[in-house]
Amino acid sequence: MKNILQVSIFIFIILIQFSCSKDSSSILPLENQNTDLSGPIDPADADLLSQVLIFPDGVTQNSGSAPSPTNTSDSPIISTSLTEAISSNGSTVLINFGYGNVGSNIGGCYVQVDGAGNYYTLPYDNNSGVSGTLQLPIGIPTNVIGGVFCVNYCIYDTNGNISNILNVCVNVLELGSGNLQVSLSWDTATDQDLHVVDPSGTTIYFANKFSNTGGQLDRDDLDGFGPENIFWSDVAPNGEYEVLVHDYEGTSTPNNFSITISTPDTRREFTGATINGDKVSVCTFTKSGDALFF
Ligand SMILES: [Ca+2]
């Protein structure tokens, strides 16, 4: 019944792919900051939040306000129906939007947290064509508490033309985190499911939310974009884990997903897609003490 929403409005889908080796090192701390970024972060504190959000490799952070739209006839135009999104600590929210009227190549995207005194420049590689779809992934660290933040974003082309600005507000749920957290988000309004097989051989998912190892699923999303979340608040057992995504709805169009795996010291992200009821094995990793080996 939700498939209607999945029918692609746009001709092209261009994804910003994360590599398996991606981590949170793309964040560039502001100079002279003296705030503890490891403590709880309220999304309502725009300047603080803006220092910790996680974007793909290549992002830079700049002081001040993002450049204004050029408002010329050859400026790119962007559009989306997504004005509100749900995410959580330790997850990555996926913002899809369409673009058009691009006479050259797309250079990148400006992103600014509403109310923050700095903004991000996010490059888009290999994006050409007059129109298509882009994705803006925004990673939220595990120490962000519940609340709402909004971001303004636009794109610029390689001729220096800047598009109109779009705004999306993200409702951050405070979900379980701790020693190990696995979070799933996706970009179609469908029922996708996160499965984690833990070292005891137990599969944690919507029909078996708890494992004797202490792992549990605390959110199953039936019709949105996630997140779904499995976590161990205390010590997750050593051994091998497998992370899978199941297209429970059995859709006929691709569901692009983001998996975020967090420990107190590390964060890894994986992307992929499901379709036609696929159950996709996203990755396996071995936990040894505080270390994860992929
Ligand atoms: Ca689900």
Distance 182 CA to ligand 1 centre (A): 14
Indicate the average pLDDT of the chain: 90
Considering the domain architecture, whether residues 84 and 53 belong to the same structural domain is answered as: yes
Ligand 1 center from residue 230 Cα (angstroms): 12
**220 alpha carbon – ligand 1 mean position (Å):** 5
Question: What's the pLDDT band for 287 if we cut at 50, 70, 90?
Answer: very high
Give the domain-ending residue among 173, 203, 227.
Answer: 173
85 and 141 in one domain?
yes
Ligand 1 centroid to 186 CA: how many Å? Answer: 11
CATH number at residue 153: 2.60.40.10
Give yes or no: residues 148 and 246 share one domain.
no
CA atoms within 13 A on the CB side of 87: 31
Is 184 found in the same domain as 151? no
Residue 289 lies in a domain: yes
Measured in angstroms, how far is the CA atom of residue 90 from the centroid of ligand 1? 17
CA of 192 to the centre of ligand 1 (A): 4
Q: Report CA(221)–ligand 1 centroid distance (Å).
A: 4
- Distance in Å, CA 292 to ligand 1 centroid: 26
Using the mean position of ligand 1's atoms as its centre, give its distance from the Cα of residue 14 in Å: 25
Q: Which of 96, 105, 114 is nearest to 76 (CA)?
A: 105
If asked whether residues 167 and 186 sit together in one domain, one would say no
Examine residue 4 and state whether it is found in any structural domain, yes or no: no
Residue type at 293 in one-letter notation? F
In angstroms, what is the span from residue 174 Cα to ligand 1's centroid?
18
Question: Going along 12-64, which residue ranges are E strands?
Answer: 60-63
In a domain, 107, yes or no: yes
The answer on 217 and 139 residing in a single domain is no
Closest CA to 243 of 223, 262, 218: 262
Distance 1 CA to ligand 1 centre (A): 15
Sign of the Cα torsion 33, 38, 40, 42 reads positive
Q: Are residues 206 and 191 in the same domain?
A: yes
CA 248 to ligand 1 centroid distance, Å: 7
Share of the chain above pLDDT 90, in %: 84
**pLDDT of 219 over the 50 cut:** yes
Domain-terminating residue out of 158, 173, 188? 173
Q: What is the distance between the alpha carbons of residues 236 and 257, in angstroms, rounded to a whole number?
A: 24
For residue 35, is pLDDT > 80? no
- Model-level pTM? 0.86
Token pair for 155? 């794109």
Distance CA 169, CA 44 (A): 12
Structure-token pair, residue 173: 């749920």
Centre of ligand 1 from the C-alpha of residue 197, in Å: 16
Residue 5 confidence (pLDDT) above 70: no
Claim to verify: residue 162 and residue 185 sit in the same structural domain: no
Nearest residue to 206 via CA among 226, 189, 188, 186:
226
Q: How confident is the model at residue 252 (pLDDT cuts 50, 70, 90)?
A: very high
The verdict on 125 and 244 lying in the same domain is no
| Residues 112, 244 share a domain | no
d(CA 62, ligand 1 centre) in Å: 38
Across the range 193-199, mean pLDDT stands at 98
Asked whether residue 1 is assigned to any structural domain, the reply reads no
* Ligand 1 center–CA 247 separation, angstroms: 9
Q: Give me the residues paired with residue 154 across strands.
A: 110
Chain centroid to CA 282: 16
Q: Please answer whether residues 167 and 81 qualify as being in contact, where contact means their C-beta atoms are separated by less than 8 angstroms.
A: no
Compute the distance from residue 243 Cα to the ligand 1 centre, in Å: 14
d(CA 170, CA 83): 9
- Domain of 161 in residue numbering reads as 11-173
Say whether 95 sits in a helix, a strand or coil: strand
> pLDDT (tens digit, 9 = 90+) per residue, 106-155?
999 999 999 999 999 999 976 678 899 999 999 999 999 999 999 999 99
Task: Give me the amino acid identity at 185.
Answer: S
- Are 221 and 189 spatial neighbours (Cβ–Cβ below 8 Å)? no
Considering the domain architecture, whether residues 19 and 128 belong to the same structural domain is answered as yes
Residue 246 included in any domain: yes
- Cα(68) to centroid of ligand 1, in Å? 39
Report CA(277)–ligand 1 centroid distance (Å): 12
CATH of the domain at 259: 2.60.40
Using the mean position of ligand 1's atoms as its centre, give its distance from the Cα of residue 28 in Å: 34
Based on the fold, state whether residues 151 and 265 are members of the same structural domain. Answer: no
Q: Distance from the CA of 194 to the center of ligand 1, in angstroms?
A: 7
Tally the domains of the chain: 2
- Who has greater pLDDT, 280 or 17? 280
Tokens of 137: 């992934």
Q: Look-up: residue for tokens 């070292």?
A: 199
